[in-house]
Amino acid sequence: MKAIKANVALFLFVVVMSAVVISTTNGEQPHASEENANAEETAGSLEEQINALLKNERLDGAVTGISVRKADTGEEIYSHDGNIQLHPASNMKLLTAAAALETLGPNYQFSTEVLTDGVVKGKVLQGNLYLKGKGDPTLLKEDLDQLASALKEQGISKIKGNLIGDDTWYDDVRLSLDLNWSDEPYYTGAQVSALTLSPNEDYDAGTVIVEVTPNKNGDQAKVKLTPHTDYVNIINKTEMVQAGQSKNISIEREHGSNNIIIEGQMPADGSISRSWASVWEPTGYALDVFKQSLEENGISLIGNSEVTYGATPEDATLLTSKDSMPLHELLVPFMKLSNNGHAEVLVKEMGRVVHKEGSWEKGLEVIEDVAISLGVDESHILLRDGSGMSHKNYIPASDLTQLLYAVQDREWYTHLEHSLPVAGASERLVGGTLRNRLKGEPTEGNVIAKTGSLTSVSTLSGYVTTQEGEKFIFSILNNNFLEGSVNGIQDEIVTTLAEYQFD
């Protein structure tokens, strides 16, 4: 019996020691299959964390597409419905900006020209004066003043001919195909013209700033326009009320006209109410303000001169011109502030440059071609505008991260990266639409991404670096939620990526 026990003990000892040797050997030299198992365990850990966040009841009944890639290799390490076509909202601007940089180049500039088909005799320009727009969305009143001043320096004080606005650089379609009727009166849905004007350095082309303030000496509030223009008609229906009462002011342009209706009550101690109202037919708006600039520089129209519209003759003489800032500078207000007008102008400009037609149709062809060259699957996307205002734009999250991966190899990538909003950065033209989000460690100043928002749509796509120095590309597309905001859920997901540590 003792011999049997001894043999059993020896057998067990051999088995145990063999297991130890095998375990030690595998630990020092893991097989490929075990490396894959470790990778799956790591990915699973990330998957578990994000999936837990997606159980939030605010996402009940909604659709969420998420893709996460390694920035250095493009490997997709997490996907949740990443291949479902969803509305990108203003994440569409990532495609537009990339296509513009690829097609036009970072140093591309728009121009505005003043030409004539006549001759200058003494101080009189005998012939028509043309203000020809070539799409510049950054043209300001002060730029028109400079153009008028240049004419004055050439000795012109009178124009015996018509003042003609030329917007033929683009087609005459003012609004993108799917723009909602309810968005059209506001700066987010401003009309697009090759000849347009911005009221300030946010460059919301085709809009005027309407300011309503208390009036100590009247029954109605005061109204101020920037820039001043007679092209729009202010209908003041406000009422001044005693100090301490509530303020209730609405400012809205009437659809199909330039009647801007201002209603409500303004208390004597009330604060300013300010709104950016879009202009119906912005070509006439730019022309009206230019006429003011001419008059302020002592240049007047004489005889039977009219202010009208038309194409500049091919043999017209250039008198003066103004070039815009280069594209890489324009990208900052465009992307940081999510300027819809800039997106649509860029669409038409790409169509004009590539296909000789400044239209949405031809411009969107350019964007699609560039997106495909960057690895986006053409069978996955539907492009209807450049800004993302359309509810008929479609792209999957995985294709957005693929685009953001591929652009890193382009020479112009640093300009695109610089244009993206920076999480928690308080300066408006740095933080942009992310300046009040993702504050504190480890996301503030670390996350750079494009936001997007429409009714029932919220999106966020960009770059984040983990605490271990691993750079991730991510895209989060939330669609079809009905109430509240899902920004907090997006922020939690991105924070999870920033905090993530590989085992």
Structure-token pair, residue 6:
């001894």
Let me know the angle formed at the C-alpha of 92 by 89 and 97, rounded to the nearest 5 degrees: 145
Structure-token pair, residue 315:
């043999």
Nearest residue to 475 (alpha-carbon basis) of 7, 66, 23: 66
DSSP state of 311: P
The neighbour count for residue 12, using CB atoms within 10 Å, is 10
Length of the chain in terms of residues written: 503
- Residues catalogued as catalytic: 90, 93, 338
Burial class (CB in 10 A: 0-12, 13-18, 19+), 256: exposed
The residues facing 234 across adjacent strands are 260
Burial class (CB in 10 A: 0-12, 13-18, 19+), 380: middle
CA gap 226, 16 in Å, rounded = 86
215-218-220-222 Cα dihedral, nearest 10 degrees: -40
The residues facing 318 across adjacent strands are 115
Q: Strand 273-278 relative to strand 129-133: parallel, antiparallel, unpaired? A: unpaired
State whether the Cα torsion 55-56-62-66 is positive or negative: negative
